[in-house]
Amino acid sequence: MKSPINRFTIKMQKKLLVLFLLILIAFVGLSVQMFLITRDNGEEYKKQVLSQQEYDSTTIPFKRGNIVDSNGTILAVSNKVYNVILDTKILMQDEANLEPTLNALRKCFSIDTNEVRTYIAEHPNSSYYVMARRVEYEKMNAFQELAKDPENGKNIKGVWFEDEYKREYPNGSLACDVIGFTTNDNQGTYGLEEFYNDILCGTNGREYGYLNDDSNLERTTIAAVDGCNIQTSIDANLQSIVEKYLKEYNEEYKDNYRPGNGAENVGCIIMEVHTGRVLAMANYPTYDLNDTRNTDNLLGMPIVDEKGNRTGEYVTQESIAAMNDEEMYRQLDSLWKNFCIVNAYEPGSVSKPFTVAAAIESGAIKGDESYNCEGGLQVADWPKPIKCHNRYGDGYLSVQEGIERSCNVVLMNVAFKLGKNEFIDYQHLFGFGLKTNIDLAGEARTASLVYNKDSMGTVELATNSFGQGYNSTMIQTMAAFCSLINGGYYYEPHVVDKITTADGATLENIEPRVLKQTVSQSTSDTIIEFCNTVVTGEHGTGKTARPAGYMIGGKTGTAETIPRKNNEYVVSFFGYAPADDPQIAIYVVVDRPNVFIQDDAKYATRIVKKILTEALPYLNIFMTEELTDQEREELEELKIQIRMQDGVQEEELTDEDGNPITPEGDGTEGDGEGEAGGEAEGDTQDDQAQREIWKTFPLDPETGYLKDPDTGNLFDPDTGAQVNGGSVFDDEDSEEETEPGEGDEPTD
Instruction: Answer yes or no: is pLDDT of 269 > 50.
Output: yes
Instruction: Answer yes or no: is pLDDT of 5 > 80.
Output: no
Q: What is the pLDDT of residue 45?
A: 62
Reported as a single tens digit per residue, the pLDDT across 192-223 is 999 999 999 999 998 776 655 555 556 788 88
Computed on alpha carbons and rounded to an integer, the radius of gyration of the chain in Å comes to: 37
Q: What is the pLDDT of residue 728?
A: 67
Short-list 592, 594, 607, CA closest to 262? 594
d(Cα 76, Cα 234) in Å, to the nearest integer? 13
Q: What is the pLDDT of residue 195?
A: 97
Is residue 207 exposed (0-12), middle (13-18) or buried (19+ Cβ within 10 Å)?
middle
Instruction: Answer yes or no: is pLDDT of 667 > 80.
Output: no
Q: Supply the CATH classification number for the domain 341-498+510-625+663-715.
A: 3.40.710.10
Computed over every residue of the chain, the mean pLDDT equals 85
> DSSP assignment of 421-477, as one string?
HHHHHHHHHTTTTS----SSBTPPP-GGGS--TTT--HHHHHHHHTT-SS-B-HHHH
Q: What is the pLDDT of residue 479?
A: 98
> Which pairing describes strands 229-232 and 67-68: parallel, antiparallel, or unpaired?
parallel
Dihedrals phi, psi of 235, to nearest 5 degrees: -100, 115
Instruction: Answer yes or no: is pLDDT of 41 > 70.
Output: no
Q: What is the pLDDT of residue 466?
A: 95
Q: Which residues on neighbouring strands pair with residue 516, listed in sequence order?
A: 490
Contact 273, 486 (CB under 8 A): yes
Band of pLDDT at residue 43, cut at 50, 70 and 90: low
Q: What is the pLDDT of residue 738?
A: 39
Band of pLDDT at residue 49, cut at 50, 70 and 90: low
Kindly state the average pLDDT of the residues 475-495.
97
d(Cα 748, Cα 746) in Å, to the nearest integer? 7
Instruction: Answer yes or no: is pLDDT of 352 > 70.
Output: yes
Report which of residues 378 and 685 the model is more confident about.
378
Q: Give this prediction's pTM.
A: 0.82
d(Cα 315, Cα 301) in Å, to the nearest integer? 5
Kindly state the average pLDDT of the residues 530-543.
93
Portion of the chain with pLDDT greater than 70, in percent: 83
pLDDT-wise least confident of 36-50, 298-312, 432-446, 540-554: 36-50
d(Cα 677, Cα 671) in Å, to the nearest integer? 14
Instruction: Answer yes or no: is pLDDT of 365 > 80.
Output: yes
Short-list 171, 172, 170, 192, CA closest to 182? 192
Kindly state the average pLDDT of the residues 47-55.
50
Which H or E run contains 590? strand 584-593
Instruction: Answer yes or no: is pLDDT of 74 > 50.
Output: yes
d(Cα 226, Cα 59) in Å, to the nearest integer? 14
- Give me the count of residues in the chain: 748
Kindly state the average pLDDT of the residues 301-311.
89
Angle at 603 between CA 598 and CA 606, to 5 degrees: 165
Kindly state the average pLDDT of the residues 356-365.
97
Of 16-30, 277-291, 557-571, 623-637, the range with the highest mean pLDDT is 277-291
d(Cα 571, Cα 345) in Å, to the nearest integer? 11
**Residue range 58-232 in CATH 3.90.1310.10:** yes
Instruction: Answer yes or no: is pLDDT of 682 > 70.
Output: no
Q: What is the pLDDT of residue 206?
A: 86
| Residue 390 DSSP label | S
Kindly state the average pLDDT of the residues 147-152.
83
d(Cα 455, Cα 420) in Å, to the nearest integer? 10
d(Cα 479, Cα 436) in Å, to the nearest integer? 8
Query: What stretches of 56-97 show up as alpha helix (H) in DSSP?
Result: 88-91
Dihedrals phi, psi of 675, to nearest 5 degrees: -95, 140
Instruction: Answer yes or no: is pLDDT of 493 > 50.
Output: yes
Instruction: Answer yes or no: is pLDDT of 685 > 70.
Output: no
Q: What is the pLDDT of residue 56?
A: 54
d(Cα 611, Cα 615) in Å, to the nearest integer? 6
Of 26-30, 75-79, 306-310, the range with the highest mean pLDDT is 75-79
Q: What is the pLDDT of residue 185?
A: 86
Contact 521, 689 (CB under 8 A): no
- For the chain, the structural domain boundaries read 58-232, 341-498+510-625+663-715, 626-662
Reported as a single tens digit per residue, the pLDDT across 397-430 is 999 999 999 999 999 999 999 999 999 999 999 9
Report which of residues 59 and 519 the model is more confident about.
519
Reported as a single tens digit per residue, the pLDDT across 102-144 is 888 998 999 988 998 998 888 888 888 899 988 998 999 988 8
d(Cα 190, Cα 169) in Å, to the nearest integer? 15
Exposure on the CB side of residue 614, measured as CA atoms within 13 A = 16
pLDDT-wise least confident of 70-79, 281-290, 596-605: 596-605
Q: What is the pLDDT of residue 411?
A: 96
Q: What is the pLDDT of residue 612?
A: 97
pLDDT-wise least confident of 160-174, 280-294, 341-355, 710-724: 710-724
